[in-house]
Structure 1
Amino acid sequence: MNKPILFFAETCPDTAPFVAELKRLNIEYEPVEVLSSLANFKQFLRLRDNNAVFDDAKANGYAGLPALLLENGDVVLEKEKLSELFAK
């Protein structure tokens, strides 16, 4: 994986602000729209179902989108954490 992977849904209200923050920070990423194909959805579910960072989202009935999978395997779910990780 050369770039972080952004799992998102176009219809999710949290996607646009998350993407805007990535753009503001000049972060390149691979986009994976999870509702556009079953393969994309399954890829996201494998990540979500095997990563504890999603536990709170699942417990509260949220999908856990958008989710940025970093090259080291960490996952960022909160837009606010992006500037902590990527601010230069």
Structure 2
Amino acid sequence: MKVTMFGSHLCKDALYAIYKLQEMGADLEFKNISASLADMKEFLAVRDNCTLFDEAKANGYIGIPYFEAEDGTKTLDLQEILKKL
């Protein structure tokens, strides 16, 4: 399954997610928001317009890692994605 993940190599949760997704054989497209302004802009467009991020924003978090699966699933929960693999 193809999974697009927005995150940063500076985030330990994102690094763990990359490892787990690769271990499970996901077709992973990693978008590093701390290394690419285009990826950051794409992420912010989603984050600023999606209620999925309300709790993260209310608590001062960025909201990464963030996952989009090819079946349309959008989540901040790695376990939700791993169950689909």
TM-score strictly above 0.5: yes
TM-score (norm 2): 0.84
5+ long unaligned stretches in structure 2:
none
Q: For 1:61 and 1:31, how far apart are their aligned partners in 2?
A: 23
Q: Secondary structure at the match of 2:81?
A: helix
2:33 match: 34
Q: For 1:74 and 1:48, how far apart are their aligned partners in 2?
A: 15
Q: State the one-letter code of the partner of 1:48.
A: R
Provide the aligned length of Structure 1 versus Structure 2: 85
- Evaluate the alpha carbon distance shift between residue 40 and residue 83 of structure 1 in structure 2; reply closer, same or farther with a 3 A threshold: closer
2:69 match: 70
Moved more, 29-38 or 66-75: 66-75
TM-score (norm 1): 0.82
Name whichever structure is richer in strand by fraction: 2
- Shift in Å at residue 13 of structure 1? 1.4
8 Å Cα contact 2:5-2:66 kept in structure 1? yes
Percent identical pairs in the alignment equals 33
5+ long unaligned stretches in structure 1:
none
Q: State the one-letter code of the partner of 1:59.
A: A
RMSD: 1.8
Q: For 1:32 and 1:5, how far apart are their aligned partners in 2?
A: 7
2:18 match: 19
- Shift in Å at residue 15 of structure 1? 1.0
Q: For 1:65 and 1:24, how far apart are their aligned partners in 2?
A: 20
